[in-house]
Homo-oligomer: A and B are copies of this chain.
Amino acid sequence: MEMAPEDEGHQQHQPNRLGEMAYRNMKERLIRGAFSPGDKLTIRALSEMLDVSTTPARDAINRLVIDGALIYSGPKTVIVPHLRLSDLEEITQMRLALEGLAAALSVKAAGEQTIEELELLQAKIDTALDEKRYFDALWHNKEFHFAIYRLSGMPYLLQVIETLWLRVGASFNGLYPEFSETRYGARNHRAAIEALVEKDAAAARAAIESDIRDGFRQMKKITADGDQRNLCRR
């Protein structure tokens, strides 16, 4: 007996469907700033919010805690963490190492199509800033970076980098519009594109590292306190 047309694309089986969905959903919300540092999250509240049972909600929260996107403030209390300066410094160091690596590796796979995509994304960033849509600008900025990193062909590397972005992203909002307005990244992005065109690994790494460093300085300047206080308002 003939089987139904099994579309050639091999189906990606999805283990832990609801839990994975809850995790991605929460990740998105955290990056988009749906929660503020200090907000308390509970399994039952999340399960109600996403209309699933407690098991997938618990899976999502546990995983976010492992990522560092949520932390325990007590034995039975998980909250959105206040990002301390020491955290930001650690994350920045790791970003420099890993995103620098990804950028250096990306030049091998960089083609014309990629360049066009990056140019387009940079244009989107610029127009978003012109129109003061700061959130969109930051979103396209992320797309720009990961469009490059994806060229490295290293999936686990990408996963770790994304987790680092998640951790800063969660405590990122509230810094508008000061943070985005400066357009600190434009020059670095241009340099990165140029490096990809010329397939210069060292230059690509330098451009990305410079972008990360500028962003770090920018965040530090805005928050304007060098001690253990958190980096977010309220």
Interface residues, chain A, with chain B CB atoms under 8 Å away: 5-6, 8-9, 11, 13, 15-16, 19, 59, 62-63, 65-66, 68, 71-75, 79, 81-82, 84, 90-91, 93-94, 96-98, 100-101, 105, 154-157, 160, 228
Contacts and interface: CB of A to CB of B under 8 A. Distances in A.
Given A16-B62, A62-B59, A75-B15, A94 B9 contact: no
B156 A68 contact: yes
Given A65-B15, A93-B101, A82 B154 contact: no
Contacts of A100: 97
A15 B72 contact: yes
Copies of this protein, total:
2
Contact of A98 (B8, B62, B98): B98
B94 A160 contact: yes
A152 B123 CA distance: 39
A152 to B, nearest CB: 9
B5 A74 contact: no
Contact of A9 (B16, B81, B91, B155): B81
Contact of A93 (B15, B155, B157): B157
27 contacts: A5-B228, A8-B71, A8-B79, A8-B82, A9-B81, A9-B84, A11-B74, A13-B72, A13-B74, A15-B75, A19-B62, A59-B62, A63-B66, A66-B66, A90-B154, A90-B155, A90-B156, A90-B157, A93-B105, A93-B154, A94-B98, A94-B101, A94-B154, A94-B157, A94-B160, A97-B98, A160-B160
A166 to B, nearest CB: 12
- 10 closest Cβ contacts across the A-B interface? A13-B75, A97-B97, A90-B154, A97-B101, A8-B73, A9-B71, A94-B157, A15-B72, A97-B98, A90-B156
A74 B7 CA distance: 11
Contacts of A93: 101, 105, 154, 157
Nearest to A20: B62
- Identify the interface centre among A5, A68, A75, A93: most chain B CB within 10 Å of its CB: A93
